[in-house]
């Protein structure tokens, strides 16, 4: 399909057909409206309306936001769906209930249930169980510039946060500076995480459920429900529902690709930006089957999780006995068992060590939310939601995960550390950019753009660590440049930045916001909104053609195009020619780069170094 004719969704079609699909076979049970403590009387609202620049009226009622320090307007913690609690756990998001009075949209969005981590810093854990957040978490926030000309509708930028789809939350991102400086509307959305967001078992389905209501992809449909809310309400904030850019980082970037490939999201967005993302789906059988079935399930499939519950609760002495007992249970008994689990106890079944990311199947190929086709084949076929798209990664993606455990190597042999981190980082570029772009560019009329973020001018830490080597252009570091907020990312800004390089940092940030917002306005990156930046050319297949824009400060070569394209074969060839100080680092890097890909060769690995590799 051509993006030129998919930008014109009929509002009537969206409100009737798309919403009907969203609610198919769901319970009509109604939950309570937002708490009365956040409301004021209609008379009070009337008195404040003439002087309050944040008072708005949307489909659910009136709401009031706040004026931020930079002058931008913010409306936080707006419900876009009913709380997915009680019988609405593992159900499609239901439309939010209307309220009376004025809803005070000033509270920060709280996380969905997750293990405590650096991505939930500052969120209270009063019972000390290592799990924070609430199942009542389907909220979004809207940020707008202070002065929108009357009658003008601005492009909408819809942010999907990252965190492995197990952690993170929308309240960690303030879109005010991006909105204020670039004249766009920014929406940040929460969505259910982990096994509360993706979980499939026949027993939890409503009788006769089909389509999305029988998919197990509750979280993916949360982000679609947020887009439907935007279609219905964003005009009240000065936004153009016919010009919506979805953008996200890491797992959020992967979720952007989920919307690009999901038939349910067709027509709900018009451009897409994927930062350090990728694309993946899971066969439905993997999400539900036992590990020893003819078609084996995941170690944490729904049936294996039920086994764990039965053993934990003393109803069976071991897995085999639990499996036998489960086979005798009715769907009603299984449903009652699953819904009786409190969220914290349920998550601990997946991850007793309470690590931030825990293994669980996600993104099920159900035939409705996701097609039953390999996503790379789907991209090559052109049968997806074709829109102008930006794909990008950071040059040193993996350093963020390595530096804390490799401090001695960083200090004593920084070149070895750089080698160690380089190969899995460039593999991320292959997986998240080049391997997608080469398929999409010839398949769609809309342009495909690629970037690599290279900025690495950080400070020396208080402990004497050179953060430009330890972190460099690592995973998540580009987000601060796009939001104009130097505390966004995995590491606080005061641990990274210093006065000597801040001018170049700020100049690059302004350029990136200019490119991103011009893309939101026009579907093209070009020279940015002000027309004064180097031309960002679309990806073109073929040797010597433009491929990727390098984003860096003037001190390190500046913003420029490059024609290099990476493949697994090119990465392998470079790796095999590399010289290592410690031969075991060669083994470790081989595994972290090629493990789980078609480039992994067990025989090659066995003889990779003299005497064999000691790690696997």
* Tens-digit pLDDT profile for residues 240-296: 999 999 999 999 999 999 999 999 999 999 999 999 999 999 999 999 999 999 999
- Residues 439 and 492 placed together within one structural domain of the fold: yes
Among 303, 322, 350, residue at a domain's last position = 350
End-to-end CA distance of the chain: 45
Sign for the pseudo-dihedral over CA of 545, 426, 456, 173: positive
Q: Output DSSP code: residue 393.
A: E
What whole-number distance in Å separates Cα of residue 125 and Cα of residue 134?
Answer: 11
65, 105 Cβ separation under 8 angstroms = yes
**Given this model, what pLDDT does residue 290 score?**
98
What whole-number distance in Å separates Cα of residue 388 and Cα of residue 272?
Answer: 6
160, 255 Cβ separation under 8 angstroms = yes
What whole-number distance in Å separates Cα of residue 225 and Cα of residue 139?
Answer: 11
**Given this model, what pLDDT does residue 122 score?**
83
Q: Output DSSP code: residue 35.
A: P
CB atoms within 10 A of CB 586: 21
Looking from the CA of 457 toward its CB, the CA atoms found within 13 Å total 19
- Residues 53 and 158 placed together within one structural domain of the fold: yes
In a domain, 378, yes or no: no
In a domain, 507, yes or no: yes
- Residues 213 and 141 placed together within one structural domain of the fold: yes
Residue 25's domain is classified under what CATH number? 3.40.50.1820
State how many domains the chain has. Answer: 4
In a domain, 212, yes or no: yes
- Residues 463 and 595 placed together within one structural domain of the fold: no
Structure tokens at 154: 């601005």
CA dihedral 451, 454, 458, 463 (to 10 degrees): 110
- Residues 520 and 575 placed together within one structural domain of the fold: no
CA dihedral 479, 483, 486, 491 (to 10 degrees): -30
540, 441 Cβ separation under 8 angstroms = yes
What whole-number distance in Å separates Cα of residue 83 and Cα of residue 372?
Answer: 30
- Residues 399 and 337 placed together within one structural domain of the fold: no
**Given this model, what pLDDT does residue 353 score?**
78
Sign for the pseudo-dihedral over CA of 3, 7, 13, 16: positive
In a domain, 590, yes or no: yes
- Residues 86 and 157 placed together within one structural domain of the fold: yes
- What radius of gyration do the chain's Cα atoms show? 24
Q: Output DSSP code: residue 461.
A: P
What whole-number distance in Å separates Cα of residue 175 and Cα of residue 353?
Answer: 34
- Residues 13 and 58 placed together within one structural domain of the fold: yes
- Residues 536 and 599 placed together within one structural domain of the fold: no
In a domain, 154, yes or no: yes
**Given this model, what pLDDT does residue 616 score?**
61
Among 258, 283, 308, residue at a domain's last position = 283
Q: How many residues does the chain have?
A: 616
In a domain, 422, yes or no: no
In a domain, 559, yes or no: yes
What whole-number distance in Å separates Cα of residue 320 and Cα of residue 270?
Answer: 50
Q: pLDDT (tens digit, 9 = 90+) per residue, 456-505?
A: 999 999 899 999 999 999 999 999 999 999 999 888 888 999 999 999 99
In a domain, 367, yes or no: no
Give the angle subtended at the CA of 383 by the CAs of 545 and 226, to the nearest 5°.
105
Structure tokens at 171: 């309240």
The ranges of the chain with pLDDT < 70 are 1-50, 615-616
Helix (H) or strand (E) holding 392: strand 389-394
Find the domain containing 532 and state its range: 388-414+429-566
CA dihedral 367, 373, 374, 376 (to 10 degrees): -100
Among 323, 350, 377, residue at a domain's last position = 350
What whole-number distance in Å separates Cα of residue 305 and Cα of residue 314?
Answer: 14
- Residues 296 and 161 placed together within one structural domain of the fold: no
**Given this model, what pLDDT does residue 50 score?**
53
What SS3 class is residue 535? coil
- Residues 166 and 64 placed together within one structural domain of the fold: yes
User: What is the DSSP track for 516-527?
Assistant: HHHHHHHS--BT
* Tokens 């709401």 -> residue: 63
- Residues 60 and 203 placed together within one structural domain of the fold: yes
CB within 8 Å of 195: residues ≥ 6 apart: 300, 305, 346, 347, 350, 360
């Amino acid at each position: 399909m051509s993006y030129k004719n998919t930008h014109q969704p009929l509002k009537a079609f969206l409100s009737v057909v798309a919403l009907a699909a969203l609610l198919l076979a769901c319970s009509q049970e109604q939950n309570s409206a937002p708490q009365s403590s956040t409301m004021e009387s209609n008379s009070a609202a009337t008195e404040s309306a003439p002087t309050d620049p944040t008072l708005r009226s949307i489909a659910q009622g009136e709401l009031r936001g706040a004026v931020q320090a930079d002058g931008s307007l913010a409306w936080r913690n707006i419900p876009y769906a009913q709380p997915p609690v009680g019988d609405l756990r593992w159900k499609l998001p239901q439309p939010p209930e209307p309220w009376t009075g004025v809803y005070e949209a000033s509270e920060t969005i709280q996380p969905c249930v997750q293990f405590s981590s650096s991505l939930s810093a500052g969120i209270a854990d009063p019972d000390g169980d290592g799990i924070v957040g609430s199942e009542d978490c389907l909220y979004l926030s809207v940020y707008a510039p202070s002065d929108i000309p009357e009658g003008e509708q601005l492009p909408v930028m819809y942010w999907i946060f990252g965190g492995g789809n197990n952690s993170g939350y929308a309240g960690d991102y303030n879109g005010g500076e991006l909105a204020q400086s670039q004249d766009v509307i920014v929406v940040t959305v929460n969505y259910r995480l982990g096994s509360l967001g993706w979980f499939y078992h026949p027993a939890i389905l409503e009788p006769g459920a089909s389509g999305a209501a029988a998919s197990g992809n509750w979280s993916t449909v949360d982000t679609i429900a947020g887009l439907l809310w935007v279609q219905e309400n964003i005009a009240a904030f000065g936004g153009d529902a016919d010009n919506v850019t979805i953008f996200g980082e890491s797992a959020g970037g992967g979720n952007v690709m989920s919307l690009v490939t999901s038939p349910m999201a067709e027509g709900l967005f018009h451009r897409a930006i994927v930062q350090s993302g990728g694309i993946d789906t899971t066969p439905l059988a993997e999400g539900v089957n036992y590990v020893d079935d003819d078609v084996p399930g995941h170690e944490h499939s729904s049936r294996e999780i039920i086994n764990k519950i039965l053993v934990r609760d003393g109803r069976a002495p071991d897995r085999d006995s639990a499996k036998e007992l489960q086979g005798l249970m009715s769907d009603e008994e299984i449903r009652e068992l699953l819904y009786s689990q409190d969220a914290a106890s349920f998550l601990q079944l997946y991850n007793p060590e309470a690590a931030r990311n825990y293994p669980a199947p996600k993104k099920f190929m159900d035939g409705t939310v996701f097609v039953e086709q390999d996503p790379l084949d789907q991209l090559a076929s052109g049968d997806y939601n074709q829109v102008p798209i930006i794909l990008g990664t950071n040059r040193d993606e993996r350093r963020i995960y390595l530096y804390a455990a490799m401090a001695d190597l960083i200090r004593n042999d920084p070149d070895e550390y750089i080698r160690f981190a380089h190969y899995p980082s460039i593999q991320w570029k292959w997986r998240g950019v080049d391997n997608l772009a080469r398929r999409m560019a010839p398949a769609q009329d809309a342009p495909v753009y690629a970037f690599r973020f290279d900025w690495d001018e950080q400070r020396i830490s208080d402990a004497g660590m050179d953060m430009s080597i330890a972190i460099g252009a690592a995973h998540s570091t580009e987000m601060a440049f796009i939001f104009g907020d130097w505390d966004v990312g995995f590491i606080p800004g005061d641990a990274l930045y210093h006065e000597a390089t801040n001018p170049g940092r700020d100049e690059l940030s302004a350029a990136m916001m200019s490119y991103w917002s011009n893309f939101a306005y026009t579907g093209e990156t070009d020279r940015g909104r002000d027309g004064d930046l180097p031309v960002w050319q679309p990806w073109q297949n073929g040797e010597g053609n433009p491929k990727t824009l390098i984003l860096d400060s003037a001190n390190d070569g500046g913003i420029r195009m490059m024609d290099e394209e990476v493949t697994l074969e090119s990465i392998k060839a470079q790796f095999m020619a590399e010289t290592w100080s410690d031969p075991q680092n060669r083994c470790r890097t081989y595994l972290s780069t090629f493990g789980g890909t078609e480039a992994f060769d067990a025989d090659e690995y066995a003889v990779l170094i003299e005497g064999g590799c000691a790690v696997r």
